[in-house]
């Protein structure tokens, strides 16, 4: 097994066209992807012998994928302008691809939860952002 470098983790935004093309947002210095699965307790007591021990039964609940990252902001281009336009719109949703090095690609519609710019007087401009899945997300293994 080969160790993967974190710098190859990419978040790419779709251009919104019918034949959607994806472009990397910016250089991520740090990135995280989280997959959450909730369950629904469907345990039912034995109706013929209710005093018997209950055995837990579960059904699939909600699946949620979230992505967060931070890095150095580069000169605004068409991709960054599209992202900020979506961020400030009434409907901050877009299709994204999240490429996890050596593992695969997650693709689907995501809500832009937050975005923050920052910077020190003697440093570079930085950013932080977070996204949450909106609907089904597909996964394609490498």
Cβ(108)–Cβ(45) under 8 Å? no
Tens of pLDDT, residues 107-123: 999 999 998 988 888 88
| Per-residue confidence (pLDDT) for residue 1, from 0 to 100 | 63
| Per-residue confidence (pLDDT) for residue 63, from 0 to 100 | 93
Tens of pLDDT, residues 20-57: 999 887 667 888 999 999 999 999 988 888 888 888 99
Go through the domains of the chain in sequence order and give each one's CATH number. Answer: 6-141 (4.10.410)
Mean pLDDT of 70-95: 83
Band the pLDDT of 71: cuts 50, 70, 90. Answer: confident
């Amino acid at each position: 097994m080969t160790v993967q470098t974190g710098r190859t983790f990419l978040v790419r935004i779709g251009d919104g066209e019918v034949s959607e093309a994806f472009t990397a947002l910016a250089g991520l210095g740090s990135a995280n992807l989280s997959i959450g699965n909730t369950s629904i307790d469907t345990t039912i007591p034995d109706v013929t012998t209710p005093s018997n021990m209950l055995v837990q039964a579960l059904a699939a609940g909600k699946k949620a994928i979230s992505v967060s990252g931070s890095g150095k902001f580069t000169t605004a281009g068409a991709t960054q302008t599209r992202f900020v336009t979506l961020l400030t719109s009434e409907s901050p949703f877009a299709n994204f691809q999240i490429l996890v090095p050596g593992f695969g690609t997650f693709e689907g519609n995501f809500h832009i939860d937050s975005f923050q710019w920052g910077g020190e007087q003697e440093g570079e401009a930085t950013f932080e952002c977070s996204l949450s899945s909106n609907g089904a997300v597909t996964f394609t293994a490498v």
